[in-house]
Amino acid sequence: MAAGARDEIAFTIHASADPVPAARRAELLASPGFGQIFTDHMVAIDWAEGVGWHDAQLRPYGPVSIDPAAAVLHYAQEIFEGLKAYRQVTGVVVMFRPMANAARFNRSAARMSMPGLPEDAFVRALELLVTQDREWVPGAAASGGDESLYLRPFMFATHVGLGIGRPSDSYTFAVIASPAATYFARGGQPVTVWLAESYTRAARGGTGEAKTGGNYAGAFAGQLEALAHGCEQVVWLDAIEHQWVEEMGGMNLFFVHGSGPTARITTPPLTGTLLPGITRDSLLTLAPDLGIPAKEQAISVAQWRAGCESGEISEVFACGTAAVITPVGAVRATTGGWTIGESQPGPVTMRLREHLLGIQFGQLPDPHGWVHKVC
């Protein structure tokens, strides 16, 4: 029995008796893709009304047994998070801002009427899994890549019964890990996006700012429409006027105004309908450190198009844990499309991307204390 000193939840460690052999692991790490390969272990903690959090375990990765009448399967009471562990140039393994993910996880839990998990226990669960499976953390930082170990904490309702009068009275929290390469197939090259004019992702008062699976399931139709028009991603507009830009797929959007020493960046404000991204928040702090003014500012589709045509908007990029910072090169819509700058990765976009990765991989100083050492 091993208990974390910073929380009241005691974790039992059950190491795998049959881990993936080192040679096979090295083969898998050579080309991990994204979210396709999983490490040897997982963490699970149960919650029950009147009992609280209990039976916390680090155990071998494997299927989760669930009753066909479990509430998550019928009423979608489920939330998740996404963050990464990095092997820095010194060999130390770190996570990036895990406490921010813990806080957002609990905000999602509150919106979905689920129990909060103590933030220290959330981070402790991540630490245990990363430490146990540290050999799965890619070591490509020294070569300039952005390979990492993607961490997926999630929680789902397990109450057995089909009544819908109240939330579930039992839940399981779990963490799994997956070595990951670049999210988009073309790496840091610009993507083409599609404006979703037929579908709406979220409305005010809904679950748009919660990281819950239903938001993503409801977005698949828009994403498929984007793919059908030769675009990699969909851009969501507001639910009322269908003219204000919100976010891109599962990522936040930033707009670069001007160029050179006068360049500044803006991102749509948080209105309760889009996800408050950890990378988004980091860039609002990091950009001013680099002399690039940054603020939240609403932007309409018409303003986006006009800004690109006049040159006032010189670059656009999306950001998120999975994709880091990805340039946007062109927009398509039912009313026609337009290009952004020269449809190439812009200097502001790439400077921010390189600086953020530099902090995460230990190549640059971490003035804000974002890097959390694990092992």
Quote the Cα angle for 266-324-239, to 5°.
50
Whether residue 260 lies inside any domain: the answer is: yes
CA distances from 254 to 10, 279, 315, 328 (A): 42, 11, 9, 10
Return the structure tokens found at 288.
């001013």
Residues 171, 262: one domain? no
- Please tell me whether residues 31 and 140 are part of one structural domain: yes
Q: Which residue from 163, 236, 249, 145 is spatially nearest to 198, judged by alpha carbons?
A: 236
Q: Let me know the angle formed at the C-alpha of 254 by 250 and 258, rounded to the nearest 5 degrees.
A: 160
Q: 119, 153, 181 — which closes off a domain? A: 181
Q: What is the pLDDT of residue 140?
A: 55
Q: Output the pLDDT for position 202.
A: 92
Whether 117 is covered by a domain: the verdict is yes
- Is 109 a member of any domain? yes
Q: Which domain CATH number covers 70? A: 3.30.470.10
Q: Which pLDDT does position 1 carry in this prediction?
A: 31
Whether residue 205 sits in one domain with residue 127: no
Residue 26 lies in a domain: yes
Query: Token digits for 85?
Result: 């562990």
The ranges of the chain with pLDDT < 50 are: 1-7, 141-143
Strand stretches in the chain, DSSP E: 2-3, 10-13, 41-48, 52-60, 78-80, 83-87, 93-96, 148-157, 170-180, 191-195, 233-237, 245-248, 251-257, 264-267, 294-296, 313-320, 324-332, 338-339, 371-373
The residue from 125, 146, 181 where one domain ends is 181
User: In terms of domains, do 82 and 108 share one?
Assistant: yes
Are 165 and 29 contained in the same domain? yes
Residues 6+ apart with CB under 8 A from 68: none
What's the mean per-residue pLDDT of the chain? 93
Among residues 163, 151, 75, 73, the alpha carbon closest in space to that of 113 is found at 75
Domain boundary among 181, 205, 237: 181
Q: Does one domain contain both 138 and 226?
A: no
Q: State whether 197 and 177 are in the same domain.
A: no
The per-residue pLDDT for range 285-315, each reduced to its tens digit, is: 999 999 999 999 999 999 999 999 999 999 9
Q: Check whether residue 270 and residue 170 sit in a common domain.
A: no
Answer for the pair 155, 173: CB distance below 8 angstroms, yes or no.
yes
Q: What are phi and psi of 77, to 5 degrees?
A: -80, 95
As for how many domains the chain has, the answer is 2
Confirm whether 367 is domain-assigned: no
Domain span at 175: 2-181
Instruction: Fill in the DSSP letter of residue 144.
Output: T
Give the C-alpha distances (Å, rounded to integers) separating 299 from 154, 253, 255, 332. 33, 11, 9, 17
Q: pTM of the full predicted structure?
A: 0.93
